[in-house]
Structure 1
Amino acid sequence: MSDPTSMSSAAQVYKRFVPQPVRAAATTTVPVGVRRKVKRQLARTLGRREARLHRRALRRVRKAEFGRSERRTKAPDGRLGHVHTGLTVDLARRLDHDLVTQALDTADIPWFAVPALDDRRICLAVDQQDKGAVRRVLRALLEEHTGYVVSVSPAQNDTSDIPGSHVKAWKHYAKAKVIRLTWLRTDPTEHLWTGEDQGVEIEFWTTDTKLPQERLVGPRPNRVQRSVPSDAPGVEIGIDRLCGYADIDGDLEPTITLETFDVLRLEEITFPVDAVLLWQHPTPWGEELLRAALRSLHQYAPWVDVVHVVAEAEPPAWLKAGDRLSVVRTRPGTEWYLHQLPDLAEHFLLLRPGALFGRPVRPFDYFTPNGSTRPRRGPWNAQESFAPWTRAAYSATGRVASHGYAHGPQPHRVETLARLAGSGAAPLPLDDGQRLPVVPGTHPVDGVVHHVGHTAGLAEPSGEASVTLHGALPGIASHLTRLLVRRDTQQIQFLGLGTEEARTRGGTKAVVRFLRRYLPVPSVFEQDASHSSDKADHRP
């Protein structure tokens, strides 16, 4: 590192600047007390110098005035977090990125973004020679905007609960090849917390001069290459090109990477993906289901291009139609004819009433780069094998269905629906899942359409787990509590909220309370962000 004394102990500095023969002679000729006194004086000198450099870095960070939050609060685990109105997972990721990059720019430390293997986090690379300066400016940043630091390589997590402004939080820094900075963030209700699975990782790259062309070598593999030319030019690149969970909005500030990293990822989806939401129940709980679906798209699938609300009833007044949301009035049974929907993208996600995302998802979770869909498989039993949709699927393709499909958000293609319509197959009658007394099997549209797509090579079923809950389920409150605490389920489906059993047992009310707490942040698709559902039940 350019400043070896900044992170080294007095003994290490002593070994570095005093040659081995001199140290060996001093061991036998200089009294132990004198050697200890010299090392103590050296340690005090280093401490004063490090404190002076830290104060200088802190003044620079404070002068920049970035990274301010509305207020600080205590997280459930006792750590400090930051409150932001309108917080989303993607916004938290961009705040973290901007904090670190602006701090590095303040200290004149060169950096570039790296397409890391972990798609959830932003990864930045800096030169190993700048390690001392990086530590000082980042510690100052974490003092001004409370966050946490751990060593990723080698893995050391025992500092995850110590604020990064403390010196002991950096005890593994000298040997670290990769570190991770995290900030805990929450919305004003303190129901939504982000940061634990995100953060910014910083890799320390070294220079290899043994080859004819000087190269930078990374400390670990990434999605492109571990070694790049040291003179590779820098280019601007959207954060969505480095993180599959990010928003695709081109108006947002890009980041900087090297030209050699500006290549398509193996799992990168380049085509637009829309979302279709069905509106069927003009009731209070029906509105809550629609609101939750829109908020889950806003929170966990910001890469969706346009949302189409297909309304079989008068749409709610709070819907905010615009460039990203359209409302189309239709008749019941329209699911079979969604390929005729105006301006619908070739690839889209279908969310029926009660379907929502439970955590961040990527386009790759539902589509392959060549355009095939990845529908979610469901249970297969005797009841499924004799269901009407399996007979219809066999009639349309001549091939027997061998598995069902899960409830919840499902990917579809316009081409597959058009193929099915062209086959002359008669649409099956559709039941209202919110009025059924039990959880039904595979939805007929999903079963037939995905089977047709699979036989035509347009669908590759996947097995990601989904959770389906009926409103009349005994003990549903415990299931909802688990979902709320863990937040580890990718997609969720609620059914039966309109049944008498769900209303009398309190299941409908329990689900509505859960949705308000699970998705407390209003979406861009809502006309009135101050709706009562945002203010209700804010207790932790």
Structure 2
Amino acid sequence: MRSTRRLTPPPEPPPLAPTSPRAPSRRPDPGRTMPLTAPPAAPRPWLADPPPLVRGYRRAVPLRLRRAVVAVTGPGLRRAAMRSLGGLSAASRSLRLRRARRRLRRAGLLAGSGRTVIADRRGGALVATLAPSPTPLFARAENLRLVCEALDRARIDHFVVRCYSNVGSAVGVRADQRDVVVTALATLCAEEAGYVSLPPRRGHPATPPRLGGRRGAWRRLAGASVVRFTRFHTGPGGSGEPGGRLLLGPAHGCDIEFWEPGGQGEERVLIAPRFNRTTASVPLVGEPVRAPDQLFTRLAPPVGWQPGPLVRTRPEFLTRLPDEVRFPIDVVYTWVDGSDPQWQRRRAALAGRGYHAQAANAARYANRDELRYSLRSLYLYAPWVRHIYLVTDRQVPDWLAVSHPGITVVDHHDIFDDPDALPTFNSHAIETRLHHIDGLAEHFLYFNDDVFLGSPVTPQDFFLANGVCKFFPSRALIPLPPVGPGDVPVSAAGKNNRALLAERFGPAITQKMKHTPHALRTSVLAEIEKEFPDAVRATMASRVRSPSDISVPSSLHHYYAFLTGRAVPGHLRYDYFDLAQPTIRTRLARLLRARHCQAFCLNDTVSSEHDLEDQLALVRPFLDAYFPLPSPLERAVTRQETRQPCPSPSPFP
């Protein structure tokens, strides 16, 4: 009997289709965090930005001429030239960085041990504050705290505004107090190595941040109705090069809004300089209130879940909005360690039973440690997740802190009601049983371990406030002919899904789904099990992939929920990376520089065992660079790793 715990107050390519004892099931236990391990080694050079000289060459030389150069030079010569230019650029950049460090130290901006100098992408240098485990939510909270404390010290009336940014914050002040506000902020910038800039506006690029302790920075902002304060945050390890470590900058800054007085008599008000989520004005004289900071960002856990700081605001900003997601959302992973000898022996007993080469390909079971980094991505970019369930076959990663209250390891025996169906090596079969996880929330996200969050996401990216799920159709199509022996598993399952839905509802589905986190409801999954009992039971009983399989959480659920009014198509900035493609190195480097995706998938279904070592050498440096800092779900596994407290609110209760 399963129970549901609720909480109180650029286009993608078509998708291709050490062991430990069983861990006990455990309920979520709020209020604890886990020590962090030390960061991994610095990323490899190929993941850094192209050398400035190379970037200058690309900007200055027309594309047609560059192609002509490529046509008459061999790849070896071009690589040698790139290395030479890279060496010159690195030496020049290192020299500039040392000079900037000396200059900033003389100015007193590197006082103490908590600051460092980072190279920016324009060739300059930035002062950043070191934090053991910086996250977007932590950087946002720190910038807001610094601004509010500075205004309090100067006895300036202010109120936190419910702005549209979830990764930044906003504070309103009276425009006729601009001079004293600027003085207070300039003092803050001088003390904290803070930067000021104009926030980006539609049609106008963001202005580069400048050290706000200098007069010239404020002259450039004279008359601006909104000014952004930023203290840069970075983590330990890495290099001073751009892309060499995690750097949280102006996107997580605090905007100071200058609200103009208006109206007459008792109707005197302060008028907002830009749109926000609740009100265009507040009374000129109003009684301030204090409210949890979680109310002002959808990136934070819901109010009432974890204790958080209180901030000064106005009652008008406490309005409950109809699009607020207040229900708990869990995450479910399915995971296998294909290198485990015991698992290999169990798999060998079923050798030869896969109907298609992809069903038993080594790439499907390869362990590149993706789960570790996918959990890091959750910690960084989805701190509102209530609890994580890891579904495995008598396996636990040796680095996983299984005692952490934010995660429960679920064995296949805990969710399968037919022992004859085990052991199973069919992900389609395992996926038919996810809604039988004890304690799983009604709303949850299903992750494969090769799916990662690439930038902050909110519950609204996956669910509407009324509980409706969002799904993300791909432009890749399900082939129209009936299931045949040549169909890859993902196509065969899609065709079987189509047959069931066409018989039940009429329309014939044609699109596959993107390899994103899948937003699911346990009630819909239970209804599918009752509506199509034979197909679900047959898939559950198939211990390896079969041409009769259906794919429940990754496709059937979305279309069934859509056709019954419980799901809608959504949009997520996403990309898919096939590790077997020759352009993979360049594409991963571009993703690391831009960090423009909310989610991405590193998938491989066709590589042989001989390819896996090369892929590991490619993927691990990329993941180390993108997600350099451990999550609270990792335990120290070597003596060299240190344990540090997590300074930011844990994303896991």
Deviation at 1:447, TM superposition (A): 1.2
- Which residues in structure 2 correspond to 1:156-305 (within 5 Å)? 160-190=208-238, 191-248=245-302, 250-283=306-339, 286=367, 288-305=369-386
Letter in 2 for 1:163: L
Change (3 A) 1:158 1:351: closer
Secondary structure in 1 aligned to 2:369? helix
Verify the 8 A CA contact 1:274 1:307 in the aligned structure 2.
Answer: yes
2: distance between equivalents of 1:395 and 1:341? Answer: 30
Letter in 2 for 1:75: A
Name the stretch that deviates more: 298-307 or 241-250: 241-250
Report Cα offsets for 1:73-110 as digits up to 9, x if no partner: 22333232222111111111111111111111111112
Aligned match of 1:20: none
Change (3 A) 1:207 1:499: same
Secondary structure in 2 aligned to 1:521? coil
Name the stretch that deviates more: 386-395 or 154-163: 154-163
Verify the 8 A CA contact 2:382 2:456 in the aligned structure 1.
Answer: yes
Secondary structure in 2 aligned to 1:174? coil
Aligned residue among 620, 624, 629 for 1:512: 620
Letter in 1 for 2:297: C
The question of 1:376 aligning with 2:472 is answered yes
Verify the 8 A CA contact 1:273 1:349 in the aligned structure 2.
Answer: yes
Report Cα offsets for 1:435-478 as digits up to 9, x if no partner: 99xxxxx9553211111111111100113242122222213111
2: distance between equivalents of 1:301 and 1:126? Answer: 31
2: distance between equivalents of 1:76 and 1:109? Answer: 34
Aligned residue among 118, 129, 153 for 1:82: 129
User: Unpaired runs of 5+ in structure 1?
Assistant: 1-61, 437-441, 536-540
Change (3 A) 1:409 1:154: closer
Aligned match of 1:14: none
Aligned match of 2:181: 134
Verify the 8 A CA contact 1:69 1:84 in the aligned structure 2.
Answer: no
Aligned match of 1:503: 611
The question of 1:363 aligning with 2:410 is answered no
Aligned match of 1:108: 155
Secondary structure in 2 aligned to 1:245? coil
Q: CA RMSD, aligned part only?
A: 3.2
2: distance between equivalents of 1:264 and 1:415? Answer: 27
Higher relative contact order (CA 8 A, sep 6+): 2
Name the stretch that deviates more: 70-79 or 453-462: 70-79
2: distance between equivalents of 1:531 and 1:383? Answer: 53
Letter in 2 for 1:324: G
Secondary structure in 1 aligned to 2:379? helix
2: distance between equivalents of 1:157 and 1:450? Answer: 38
Name the stretch that deviates more: 258-267 or 132-141: 258-267
Aligned match of 2:395: 314
Name the stretch that deviates more: 471-480 or 144-153: 144-153
Deviation at 1:509, TM superposition (A): 2.4
2: distance between equivalents of 1:502 and 1:362? Answer: 39
Change (3 A) 1:468 1:198: same
Deviation at 1:492, TM superposition (A): 1.0
- Percent identity between the two aligned chains: 27
Deviation at 1:350, TM superposition (A): 0.5
Aligned match of 1:39: none
Secondary structure in 2 aligned to 1:477? helix
Letter in 2 for 1:207: P
TM-score by length of 2: 0.66
Letter in 2 for 1:171: R
TM-score by length of 1: 0.79
- Which residues in structure 2 correspond to 1:12-161 (within 5 Å)? 70-77=114-121, 78-80=124-126, 81-152=128-199, 160-161=208-209
The question of 1:327 aligning with 2:381 is answered no
Deviation at 1:370, TM superposition (A): 0.6
2: distance between equivalents of 1:400 and 1:194? Answer: 46
Aligned match of 2:513: 405
Verify the 8 A CA contact 1:367 1:373 in the aligned structure 2.
Answer: yes
Secondary structure in 2 aligned to 1:206? strand
1: distance between equivalents of 2:112 and 2:595? Answer: 27
Secondary structure in 1 aligned to 2:327? coil
Verify the 8 A CA contact 1:206 1:218 in the aligned structure 2.
Answer: yes
Letter in 2 for 1:525: L
Verify the 8 A CA contact 2:130 2:233 in the aligned structure 1.
Answer: yes
Letter in 2 for 1:201: D
**Over alpha carbons, which structure has the higher Rg?**
1
User: Unpaired runs of 5+ in structure 2?
Assistant: 1-107, 239-244, 341-365, 413-421, 483-494, 644-653
- Which residues in structure 2 correspond to 1:400-479 (within 5 Å)? 400-425=508-533, 426-427=535-536, 429=539, 445-479=553-587
Verify the 8 A CA contact 1:89 1:299 in the aligned structure 2.
Answer: yes
Secondary structure in 2 aligned to 1:169? helix
Verify the 8 A CA contact 1:378 1:406 in the aligned structure 2.
Answer: yes
Letter in 2 for 1:371: G
Letter in 1 for 2:324: E
Letter in 2 for 1:279: W
Verify the 8 A CA contact 1:350 1:411 in the aligned structure 2.
Answer: yes
Aligned match of 1:16: none
1: distance between equivalents of 2:641 and 2:577? Answer: 22
Change (3 A) 1:107 1:453: same
Change (3 A) 1:356 1:313: farther
Name the stretch that deviates more: 184-193 or 96-105: 184-193
The question of 1:341 aligning with 2:437 is answered yes
Change (3 A) 1:287 1:312: farther
2: distance between equivalents of 1:79 and 1:416? Answer: 52
Name the stretch that deviates more: 398-407 or 517-526: 398-407
Letter in 2 for 1:362: T
Secondary structure in 2 aligned to 1:286? coil
Report Cα offsets for 1:184-238 as digits up to 9, x if no partner: 2211134211113221101111222415333222122211111122343323223
Letter in 2 for 1:267: D
